Structure 1
Amino acid sequence: MAKSLASHFETYRPLLFGLAYRMLGTASEAEDIVQDVYLRAREVPIAQVKNAKAYLTTIATRLSLNRLQSASQQRETYLGPWLPEPVLTTHLPELTTPQEQMILHDSISIAFLTLLEKLSPAERAIFLLHEVFAYSYGEIGEMLEKSDAACRQLGRRARQHIATSRARFDSNPADHERLLQGFLQVVEVGDFAGFLAMLTEDVTLMPDGGGERGAAIRVLRGQQSVSQFMMGVRKLSPPNLEAKIVSLNGRPTILLTASGKPFVVICVYAVDGRIALIQLIAGKKLAHLRI
């Protein structure tokens, strides 16, 4: 029996998941896409394929675009802000240079994936394929059945939008982890004044409770509002709550567990050493995390 394209599937599984996850922002849907790619690859004789990587990437991209277009309608009726599902990145693949590692971490951060939501599906696909996965515009054009010029125009528009909308947060991992430790200490003891001092004046808090009724859905801004909310969360938290710092989406991140199960993920972003953005993710968005 002739070999199918599926014989190359495992080699490119991480790439296919990484692309689908960045396109969709949900690990569960990305896994579905990867499985669909495998099923389709089984039907394609490898002798008919010139470039297995490009062929599999094309399938994953087109499936992700179809899924993203249908998901956009669901997100319009979503209760509260929509944030990506966090994923564990403790064992990221070894890369050859610190620059490559930085690009990988940056392109999978919750803040960056949230920013990608503002792009059209085509802009998102072209931006990721070119900027993150290093495909040429000619190759992308073949994948999406668009001209080289059209891909360049959409890619340029996406880059401009990202550049103008992107906040510049502190990125030193050691400083970031120290900030998280301080965050946990002041919240644990209920130090309202100490927590207030950690925040920028225009700090923003975005909660995503999985679109469930009863979850917090309001975006809060300002030191007083954010501090009061976090202290209120502390008082209402389960008594068996445990906090630890884990690597989620390429960054040290606070994970709160209750009875050993993920309860809340807290993503913190700083500017000049003070917290400028807090993202809280809870509910079904954490169902796939295995800690």
Structure 2
Amino acid sequence: MTTETATDLFEAHRPVLLGVAYRMLGRVADAEDVVQEAWLRWSGSDRGDVREPRGYLVRITTRLAIDRLRQIKSRGETYVGPWLPEPYVTDFGDTVPDTAERAVLADSVSLAVLVVMESLSPLERAVFVLREAFGFPYADIAAMLDRGEAAVRQLAGRARKHVEERRPRYEVDPAQRRDLTERFLAAAGEGDLEGLMALLAPDVRLVGDSGGKARAPLRVLDTADKVGRFLVGAAQKGVPDFSVRFLELNGGPAVLVLSGDKPDSVFQLDVADGQVQAVYIVRNPDKLRSLAAG
């Protein structure tokens, strides 16, 4: 296999590798580091016996991501306020033409699911991602992780049960989410509390991630009255020279708020029954760097 062929093969599989690494780590920079390390190992290895490059590369990436997760957990990192994954651009484009497959990939990278996955062990998380998001057979996952197939099936069952019990049930219709997002943004921007209250479910939750580096609630807000009043108050304080952009993040429509040309925050909504069920706000500047670069 020539160097050019090896490079082309790796680049062809890069989106899958990045998708696996991000779902396991919840951080774009960490995922990119893992994929870069996978490239170094791939380019420096004897590839003569590699019959299935995709599986081989996913195996390397998964093991590196597990190592990174274990390092993070062993350091006992603390985080100021609620934690959300770093926003991740997920414009699948023509790479995933199948509607059902797109829905599975979008759901597996949603903020709600990734937050639940944070409580899985590194191995459980790896098995869940490989099986539920990318559909790898149990035998292949077992080979990737050097585990018996029976053990992998047990890990998969435990992880699936954990996620299903704790994940919120939201609709994923992008058109409805986009419509509610636009109406939500208009009401919040105008300080229209009554208009906001009409959009919010009574038990709506607002999760703000600032990492202690920007202004955001340090606890989850959990009623329509609290969420509505917070949003109106935030809108009144305003963002200097602000503008907004709609884009697809974590499998659904989102709003990027810019201050000048610098990302200030990301808003994303989960909706069901025609109402906003959850509001996610990411303001930690460290988590907005990849959007600034883009």
TM-score bin, normalised by smaller chain: over 0.9
Query: Cα offset for 1:278?
Result: 0.6
Other-structure match for 1:87: 88
* TM-score normalised by length of structure 1: 0.93
Distance 1:63 1:93, change over 3 A: farther
Q: Is contact 2:240-2:260 (8 Å) kept?
A: no
Other-structure match for 2:159: 158
What is the letter of the counterpart of residue 247 of structure 2? V
Query: Partner of 2:265: helix, strand, or coil?
Result: strand
Greater shift in the superposed pair: 117-126 or 95-104: 95-104
Within 5 A, what are the aligned runs for 1:42-191?
A: 42-73=43-74, 76-191=77-192
What is the letter of the counterpart of residue 159 of structure 1? R
Q: Is contact 2:190-2:235 (8 Å) kept?
A: no
Query: Cα offset for 1:72?
Result: 2.7
Distance 1:234 1:20, change over 3 A: same
How many residue pairs match? The answer is 291
Q: Is contact 2:111-2:250 (8 Å) kept?
A: yes
**CA RMSD of superposed structures (Å):** 1.9
* Distance in 1, Cα, partners of 2:73 & 2:197: 36
Greater shift in the superposed pair: 156-165 or 107-116: 107-116
Other-structure match for 1:274: 275
* TM-score normalised by length of structure 2: 0.92
Instruction: Give structure 1 stretches of 5+ with no counterpart.
Output: none
* Distance in 2, Cα, partners of 1:212 & 1:164: 32
What is the letter of the counterpart of residue 281 of structure 2? L
CA offsets 1:66-101 (integer angstroms, 9 cap, x no match): 111122356751111111111222354432321111
Distance 1:91 1:157, change over 3 A: closer
* Distance in 1, Cα, partners of 2:78 & 2:224: 29
Query: Cα offset for 1:118?
Result: 2.0
Q: Is contact 1:170-1:273 (8 Å) kept?
A: no
Query: Cα offset for 1:51?
Result: 2.1
Other-structure match for 1:193: 194
* Distance in 2, Cα, partners of 1:70 & 1:126: 18
* Distance in 1, Cα, partners of 2:203 & 2:75: 30
Greater shift in the superposed pair: 87-96 or 258-267: 87-96
Instruction: Give structure 2 stretches of 5+ with no counterpart.
Output: none
* Distance in 2, Cα, partners of 1:230 & 1:166: 25
* Distance in 1, Cα, partners of 2:181 & 2:75: 33
Query: Cα offset for 1:232?
Result: 1.7
Other-structure match for 2:254: 253
* Distance in 2, Cα, partners of 1:91 & 1:98: 11
Query: Cα offset for 1:21?
Result: 0.6
What is the letter of the counterpart of residue 285 of structure 1? K
What is the letter of the counterpart of residue 100 of structure 2? Q
Query: Cα offset for 1:197?
Result: 1.9
Q: Is contact 1:210-1:285 (8 Å) kept?
A: no
What is the letter of the counterpart of residue 182 of structure 2? Q
Q: Is contact 2:205-2:222 (8 Å) kept?
A: yes
What is the letter of the counterpart of residue 173 of structure 2? N
Other-structure match for 2:286: 284
* Distance in 2, Cα, partners of 1:27 & 1:93: 22
Query: Partner of 1:219: helix, strand, or coil?
Result: coil
Query: Cα offset for 1:203?
Result: 1.0
Query: Cα offset for 1:223?
Result: 1.4
Q: Is contact 1:80-1:216 (8 Å) kept?
A: yes
Runs of 4 or more, structure 1, over 3 Å off, are 1-7, 73-76, 90-93, 213-216
Q: Is contact 1:79-1:213 (8 Å) kept?
A: no
Greater shift in the superposed pair: 222-231 or 20-29: 222-231
What is the letter of the counterpart of residue 262 of structure 2? K
> Equivalent pairs: percent with the same residue?
38
* Distance in 2, Cα, partners of 1:169 & 1:75: 32
